Amino acid sequence: MKKQNLAKLFAFLLIAVLLFSQGAVFAENYATRDDIPEEYKWKLETIYKSIDAFNADYDEVLKDILPKIEAYKGKLKSSKAILEVLKLDDQMLMKYYKMNMYAKMRLDINQLDSEAAELSSRVGYLLVKAGAAEAFIEPEILSKSDRALDMYINSSLLKDYKFYLQKLKDKKAHVLSASEEEILAKLGDFAKSPEEIYDKLTLADAHYPYIIDYETGEVEFYNPALMRSEDPEERKRGYEILYSSTADMQYGLSQTLISEVKKNVFFATVRKYESALQASMSSVHVPTQVYDNLIDTLNNNLDSLHKYMELRAKAIGFEKIHSYDMALPMLPSYRMTIPYEEGKAMVKEALKPLGEEYISMLDYAFNNNWIDVYPSPNKYAGGYSWGQYDTDPIILMNYTDDLNSVSTLAHELGHSMHTWYAKNNNNYRNYDYAIFNAEVASTLNELLLSKYLINKAETNIEKIYLLNTMINNMRNTVFIQAMYAEFEKSIHEAIETGAGLSADSMKYIWLEILQKYYGDNYVPEDFIALWPLEIPHFFMNFYVYNYATSFIAACPISDTIYNGEEGAVENYLKYLKAGGSDYPVEILKKAGVDMTKPEPIEAFTDLFDSYVKQLEQLMIEEGLIAN
């Protein structure tokens, strides 16, 4: 237990920052970016060979394309005029996203690159100008009669924009008069306030976790070791310290979240939607049935999660598991060390069931600098995949020779391959896929990797480690995200029904959900009621369900591919190639999964249950738990 006097607080924080910075630089394989071999770094010149080329695109958009777009204002009275302005808009958007991608990539490999920061700022300015220039297009098209819209949708001249126009027509009933739309547009900046306030509270006003003993003047700082202590009181105190900053701001954070909910309900109401949930789901063309089906079906199939919690309690030797016991390790320490080249080979081998075409594209990705592999000073932390219509997809990683890095590589390659297939099989308006579909491709790769590793594990301990990793991934990605989704729906319904919402009622809602999911074996402590206040996704308007539905959908698809079922790979490649050319749920059906039905979710909980049973049996065999 480490304590400091108040007078030492700022010195301690400064030392912590310095130690963290030094660790970030010197703990990796390469001290500087220049030391990293070229084959492990992006080649930015494949996007723009020079700043002059970037500037040429920038000037063309600002001085040529945008004025041409604006010239069509009030003139969209024929299929020909609509086609011409949409083509100009496509041209503008492709150049904008290419510039944005270049600036962002430069910043992410070196966040001290001042020229890249300036480029990013200029791109931001261009976005504002572009938004203003094209703002008339959709309202002007939607001002036409349904008959005229149907004529445009079925026009051979506008065949490349058929689905775009259909989606546009879908939302016509929720578009208001021009003057009302103008008022709502002016509320745009104001509507961002809850999220902006939340960011300021959590990023600027939050303090390093500590608790003050006002009698002695001593300060006890957060120490992760406390949460793994053998003493339950120390573990509990560790969590209380961890949540201390959130606890200090809980009423401000709660009111900020309530304001976000009220904002969503307001916009849904004025646009004549039945609920905030319906408004959000309609905006991405996914039926609310998908959301409700996820929550309802999981609620009816929580036995497998309850069994896992019972196994967790048994593994750490307790009858009941408290919130402060969740950080205790279930298993002996185990680590797989996997250098990058081995990780690449492992991913390729695991993804072989996807066929030769897919594997050849993986080779293309590896050999053409899609991936910026290693950490380096001032590089953006974490990982992502990014795609743009007229460039190759790219992947940012911070590879650290462990299983998590290999899983991240497989995951991000799933996104990049999805983008590659989508953009090479669709026109610009139809290539970009919805978030609802995006995580299926990435998760499927992770699942194939996990199956491959589990089946080739050489020892029970290795298999136990891999199974436990998989189970926790499933718990975090499906069950916990579903808890968030249920909580988000509940707090919106509280406002919509007039029941009201407060800091205390949100705590109650969350604890009730948590207890239901984790079962009677779980004992929630008071501090865990603050958990939702630390989730920024609640300011993204019904977003988190996507993680759960994507993981669930990927499970049966990966099974059919792994088992070599006839037509499985072909159907999956059709899914990837579909991009955004149809409604998200319909595209997923082409891969054999209907997320409006309970069957895929029930299959997921059965799979989770089978993994828990396998883990329990192996732990018994290894003497880690009693029979």
Kindly report the average pLDDT of the chain as a whole number: 91
Quick one: pLDDT at residue 22?
Answer: 31
Quick one: pLDDT at residue 499?
Answer: 94
In a domain, 602, yes or no: no
Distance CA 131, CA 196 (A): 21
Domain count, the chain: 1
Q: How confident is the model at residue 218 (pLDDT cuts 50, 70, 90)?
A: confident
At 534-571, the pLDDT tens digits run: 999 999 999 999 999 999 999 999 999 999 999 999 99
Tell me what the mean pLDDT of segment 146-175 comes to: 95
pLDDT(2) > 90: no
Cβ neighbours of 6 (radius 10 Å): 12
In a domain, 224, yes or no: yes
Quick one: pLDDT at residue 132?
Answer: 87
pTM score > 0.75 for this model?
yes
In a domain, 5, yes or no: yes
Quick one: pLDDT at residue 209?
Answer: 80
DSSP string, 28-73: SS-SSGGGS-GGGS--GGGT-SSHHHHHHHHHHIIIIIHHHHHTTT
Residues with Cβ within 8 Å of residue 622, at least 6 apart in sequence:
460, 461, 464
Cβ neighbours of 595 (radius 10 Å): 27
> Comparing C-alpha atoms, which of 115, 116, 94 is closest to residue 103?
116
Q: Is 2 or 453 the better-scoring residue by pLDDT? A: 453
pLDDT(6) > 60: no
In a domain, 81, yes or no: no
Quick one: pLDDT at residue 214?
Answer: 65
pLDDT(253) > 50: yes
pLDDT(485) > 70: yes
At 413-422, the pLDDT tens digits run: 999 999 999 9
Tell me what the mean pLDDT of segment 274-288 comes to: 96
At 179-205, the pLDDT tens digits run: 888 788 778 778 889 999 988 888 788
Contact criterion met (CB below 8 Å) for 260 and 538: yes
Q: 12-43 burial, b for 16+ CB within 10 Å, e for fewer? A: beeeeeeeeeeebeeebebeebeebeeebbbe
In a domain, 239, yes or no: yes
Annotation says 412 is catalytic: yes
% of the chain beyond a pLDDT of 90? 81
Six-digit token string for 364: 């293309």
Best-predicted range by mean pLDDT (325-329, 378-382, 615-619): 615-619
In a domain, 121, yes or no: no
Tell me what the mean pLDDT of segment 363-373 comes to: 97
Beta bridge partners of 220: 3, 211
At 75-113, the pLDDT tens digits run: 999 999 999 999 999 999 999 999 999 999 999 999 999
Residues with Cβ within 8 Å of residue 395, at least 6 apart in sequence:
365, 370, 371, 372, 383, 384, 385, 386, 409, 412, 413, 415, 416
Distance CA 31, CA 5 (A): 36
> Comparing C-alpha atoms, which of 489, 627, 480 is closest to residue 551?
480
Q: How confident is the model at residue 614 (pLDDT cuts 50, 70, 90)?
A: very high
Domain that holds residue 244: 1-28+212-248
Tell me what the mean pLDDT of segment 137-146 comes to: 93
Q: Which of 412, 439, 486, 616 is catalytic?
A: 412
In a domain, 588, yes or no: no
In a domain, 21, yes or no: yes
Quick one: pLDDT at residue 14?
Answer: 30
Quick one: pLDDT at residue 189?
Answer: 76
